[in-house]
Structures are given as structure tokens and as C-alpha cells.
Chains A and B, each alone.
Chain A
Amino acid sequence: MAVTKKKLVDLYTRTLKVRLFEEKVWDLFGENLVPGTLHLYLGQEAVAAGVTAALKKSDWVQSTHRGHGHVVAKGADMKAALAELLGKRTGSCKGKGGSMHITEFKAGVLGATGVVASGLPIAAGAALSCQMRGTKEVVACFFGDGASNNGTFGESLNMSAIWKLPVIWIVENNFYAMGTPITLTCPSQSIAQRAEAYCIPGCVVDGNNAVEVYEATLEAVKRAREGGGPSLIECQTYRMRGHSRFDPAKYRPKEEVDFWLSKDAVEIIQSIALEKKALTRKEAKDIRKKLQKEVDSAADFAVKSEYPEPQEALDDVFAEVA
């Protein structure tokens, strides 16, 4: 299947947008403007880009604690996203959620969750809803290698398989759950091979190659939309930084880090796009400039926004009764 030039530009743009967004978050964090902790998506951009590029606007994604990339790639407003990370009233969650709960429903994000593996059942339910309402929408559910060892993984894959739910299970295997390497927690060579137990298709792709992620997702989306049920796609990727805020990630061998850093998601999609003549160098540069401007002005908006008033803590527990 040949990816169109237009799609290559789209993939380049999404990957780069997430990269620039995360670099900005890192800067703001360095300026002490981001409260709490942070799980940066740096390094994994091609996964969010490839998956969301295979979805329609009306489709859904379920995010994780490492959710900035999912949300931005799905098309959430970067101003509201950055404002949320800074705890501002103009944030997408009015400052209630922050990094681990960065979410924009109107962009098709079902929620970022701080509880590892808690998104899978919700994604199954959203897919059930798409199926019962006959909308032809699909749900892409992101989760980590660590999450795949939680009970919800087995329960959700099984339920989605028996009911042929339109959900695509995207496991972002970055080989670590905090400091724990996957070799300590998973007996098999891949997570994808667990798909067999649920009688659904499973595959492994290079998660730093947006085209590979896109193609695998597209096929799974097609199957899901046509009533063929769920798929499991394992995207192998790597965190450029530590797990969270202050983690120097000393537990990762240097050769391993160097290997993955040499597989830069932005460089990979850019060179594919250039090679396939989907983009000229100048066009690539112009896109970067435009995105950087967008990110900068989003950051400006976020920084200038007001913090919520303390009593706003009491809002939104229940619906307002008219």
C-alpha cells in the first residue's frame, strides 16, 4: 500500500508538532512554570502521529499518563493544552487535571488517566457505544508495556474480541515501566503475540517510524469499521528522557540509549518525506517555522493566563442543577 504524498506531509507535520510541543513543555518546566510531575512523550512522537493520521476527526483516542502527544496529535487546542499543564483556568480541564489528565473531549480524546491500564476498559466501552449506536466510529486506545501486565488488559481484549468491538489496541512498548525493564515483567518476545490468545490480529511495528505505525493502524481501522473487530498493534519505541520529572534514567544501558536516539522519529519521517518527494527541504523548514510559531504563541497564551480562584476547586463535582 502506497502512502500518498499528502499523507506523508500530514505524518511529518503531526510528528513534528508533538516534538515541538514537548520541547516547549520541557522549557516551561525548566522555568519552573509546570507544577507537579511530567511524563514527556519525547521520542515516541511517531506513535501518536501514525495512529491519529489513520483516524477521522470523529474517531476517538484513549490516552495515558504519558498523554501530551496523543492529545496534540489528535488535534486538541495547544493553547488550552499548555494552559492546563501550567494549571491555568484557561486549561482544557480548568486546571483540575494537569499533565496526567490532559484531555480535550471535543477533539475526540476520552481522557488521559493517571492510573496505569485504567483506559482499556473505558476504550472498550466507548467502542461498544460506537457499535451500538451504529456510528462507524472507532476507538484507538494507547497504553504502555507496563500497562499490558494489568488485569484490565486481558479483560478488555477478551471483551472486545467476543463482541467484535471497533477498537484498536495500541501498546507503546518503550521497554520500561518506570525503572523496570520489560524483560523482568513479560515472558514473551513481544506483547503483540498475546493477541493470539484472544483470536485477534496482532503485529509489531517500528514505533519510531510514523509510516509503519500509520499503515498498521489504517488496516486495523478498516477492519474495525467494517465490523471485523479489534486488533493489537505493538509500537516499539523509546523515551528520550527519564520516566518523569527528575528521573535521570540511569538504569538504561548507554548502548541501548544511543541506538534509540539515533532513530529519531522526526528525522525518520522527514527523510522519508524528502525521499518520496512529498516535501522539499524548504517546505519542511516552512512547516517547522509555522508550527514553532503556533507552539510559541500557545505558550505565550498559557503563561499569560490567570490561575483559577481557590474556590473554583468546588466546581464541577456534579452537574449544575437548573
Chain B
Amino acid sequence: MTEKTYRDALKEGLREEMLRDERVFIMGEDVGRNWGGAFKVTKGLAEEFGDDRVRDTPISENTIAGAALGAAITGLIPVAEIMFGDLITLAMDQVCNQAAKMRYMFGGQTSVPLVLRSVFGGGKSIASHHSQSLEAWFMHTPGLKIAVPSFAYDVKGLIKTAIRDPDPVMFFEHKLVYDRKEEVPEEEYLIPFGEARVHREGDDVTIWGTFFMVHKAIEAADELAKQGISAEVIDPRTLVPLDKKTLIDSVKKTGRLVLVTEETKTGATTAEIAAIVQEEAFDWLDAPIKRVNAPDTPVPFSPPLEQYFIPDKERIISAVREIV
């Protein structure tokens, strides 16, 4: 085991898959040698694998996604990068109408081994066009798998699984976790989709969250522990497929649930999870399910506004205290 940053673990996963299978290639804006990706994830890969396999594109999001799709159905395995998650909006047709539907609409004739990497989240004061968390839009689109890794160990194992998956995978990262470190094994490993990770075990309340909010939930759980409240923290790691069992089992144990993501509240993934839990574990709930989300506004620029917008440890703790 060695400590690695999320960024390096992700790069290692990409690199291992490119070494293993020469059909794997990367394309996107500034992924190549001059920049190495806006968040430096692909830095060094163009030097190692060449500019053909780590391909800089024009600023053409719809065609980046569409061309990756075209390559995926004809024998390659593209890992396309859209520089910011907000900009997948420019590629919605190719992602949601084409890639997501292709296997089904054509009666199972083709696989779509496509990975589309992008990054969500606020916290950097870069305002409404570069800070959103839009994962629910894709969860609402049948045919897309969605990975949401928040830790170095997970991101490496999941990117390798995503690349080997025969269906389109939306691989979402978070801006604030690239520098976070975690122990990562030396030997090869894959993490199956649909298996949650339990970061803290607890009896009094379940906290389910994604991305940077998992980190905040862990901090909250540690502080709650000092206050005598034992919280279980669950990170789903993939939203599609979703590990319902780990969550439902936990709720059956704790009887209380707090859901926390950075999304704006209305129509967020937390709404879907709350619905699932009340369908499948209503009788075990001892209190209403609490949702901790951002308010229904665009992401504001100014630091005091953005801090208000993004949920934090204190908001998680007070949501827990309201029901425990």
C-alpha cells in the first residue's frame, strides 16, 4: 500500500487500462501534453502513449461525446473528458439521446463501451457555469451508468471497471478531492459497480452522501461520536447501479436517515434515495428522512454566498440532531 492522491490514483487506473488494452484512448479539451487536463489528471499520458491515444480536441463538446460514441460502437474504448460537468449540457443529445439509448433502441445489437469523465462541485468561487452538481439529470436517463468516486482507492478501482464495462459510463469526479490522499494497493484491483462503501459504522443514524459531502459526513460523524451519537456513513460510489441493500440494511439498523449532497434540492439524487427508502424500509423508520442539499439557486460567486450555498459539516450535524 502507498498513499496516493485521488488524481494520481485515477491517472494510474487510466494508464493501466491503456497498457492492458490498446483500444483504450483518451480524448478531450487540453488533455494532451500542453496542459494534461484542466485538473492535471492526464498529465504525462500523452508523453507516454502519444498524441493519437491522448488526443486534444477542439472546443466541441457535443462532438467530443458523439465522436467517442461513434468510436465506441466500432471497436474502440474511448475515455472522453468534458472539462467541467456544467459543459455536458452542450453534449446532452449525444449523451442522453444517443449513447444512453443505443443498445435498447436498436434491440441490443451493439455495445457502447464509452466512458465520459467530468467533474462537478463548487467551493472554488468559479460561479454558476463551473460549479454545478448535475448527476441527477443522468440518473434520470435510463441507459447510463454513473460512477461518483470520492476517494483515491475508489477512483482507481472504479475507472478500471468503467473502462471494461460494455455500456456507457458517466464517470463523475469532484474538484475538491483531487489532492486528497488515501492508501492504494500496489497490486491490480477492480471495484465492482453497485457496491457502496461504509466509511463509519454506527447505530443511531445513517448518513448517505456523495462526492465532497462524504468527506464532510465523515467529519460530522466523528464529531457526533464525541457527542455520543453513533452515525453510519455510506458512500454509494456508483449511483447507477445503486447499492440499495447496504443502505436499506443500514436504515433497518439505525431507523434514521440523513441524505447529503451538494446538488440543489429539488429533484436531486437525495429525493430519489428518500423515495426508495420509504418504499422499501418505511416500517423501520423512526423519524422523517432529512435531506441536506444546496438551495434551489444557481451557484453564486462571492465566497460568503458560495459558503452559504454549499452544505457543510455543521448543517449535517444539525440535521442529525433534529432526528436523533
A residues adjacent to B (C-beta < 8 A): 35-37, 87-88, 91, 93, 95-98, 100-101, 113-117, 146-147, 149-151, 177-181, 184-186, 251, 307-314, 317
B307 and A150 within 8 A (CB): no
Chain B positions 40-71 with a Cβ under 8 Å from a chain A Cβ = 56-63
A100 and B304 within 8 A (CB): no
B278 within 8 A of A: no
Q: Which of A117, A179, A310 contacts B305 (CB 8 A)?
A: A310
In the complex with contacts A36-B125, A313-B295, A100-B29 CB distance below 8 A: no
Q: Which of B56, B86, B305 contacts A180 (CB 8 A)?
A: B56
Number of interface residues of B (CB under 8 A): 39
Please name the 7 residue pairs, one residue from A and one from B, whose CB atoms are nearest each other, closest first.
Answer: A114-B129, A87-B302, A179-B34, A95-B302, A36-B125, A149-B58, A98-B301
A96 and B59 within 8 A (CB): no
In the complex with contacts A310-B305, A313-B295, A97-B127 CB distance below 8 A: yes
CA distance A88 to B302 in the complex (A): 7
In the complex with contacts A88-B302, A310-B307, A177-B59 CB distance below 8 A: yes
B300 and A95 within 8 A (CB): yes
Task: Give 21 pairs: A residue, B residue, CB < 8 Å, sorted on A.
Answer: A36-B301, A37-B125, A87-B305, A95-B301, A96-B305, A98-B302, A114-B86, A115-B86, A149-B60, A151-B63, A151-B90, A177-B58, A178-B34, A178-B38, A179-B30, A179-B32, A179-B34, A180-B35, A180-B56, A309-B304, A313-B295
Q: Which residues of A contact B124 (CB under 8 A)?
A: 36-37
Q: Which of A116, A177, A317 contacts B296 (CB 8 A)?
A: A317
Q: Which of B89, B127, B298, B303 contacts A100 (CB 8 A)?
A: B127
CB of A10 to closest CB in B, whole Å: 32
CA distance A313 to B38 in the complex (A): 28
CB of A178 to closest CB in B, whole Å: 5
B297 within 8 A of A: yes
Q: Which residues of A contact B29 (CB under 8 A)?
A: 177-178, 180
Q: Which residues of B contact A149 (CB under 8 A)?
A: 58-60
CB of B207 to closest CB in A, whole Å: 24
Q: A310-B308, A314-B295 are in contact. List 11 more A-B contacts (CB 8 A).
A: A35-B301, A87-B125, A87-B305, A96-B301, A114-B128, A115-B87, A115-B129, A151-B63, A177-B30, A177-B59, A179-B35
A317 and B303 within 8 A (CB): no
Q: Which of B35, B86, B296, B305 contacts A95 (CB 8 A)?
A: B305
B313 within 8 A of A: no
A-B pair count, CB < 8 Å, reads 131
CA distance A180 to B56 in the complex (A): 7
0/1 string, B21-44, CB within 8 A of A gives 1: 000000001101011001000000
A313 and B308 within 8 A (CB): yes
B309 within 8 A of A: yes
Q: Which residues of A contact B87 (CB under 8 A)?
A: 115
B126 within 8 A of A: yes
Q: Which residues of B contact A186 (CB under 8 A)?
A: 58
Q: Which residues of B contact A309 (CB under 8 A)?
A: 304
CB of A320 to closest CB in B, whole Å: 15
Q: Which of B32, B35, B126 contacts A36 (CB 8 A)?
A: B126
B130 within 8 A of A: yes
Q: Which residues of A contact B38 (CB under 8 A)?
A: 178
Chain B positions 86-104 with a Cβ under 8 Å from a chain A Cβ = 86-87, 89-90
Q: Which residues of A contact B307 (CB under 8 A)?
A: 310
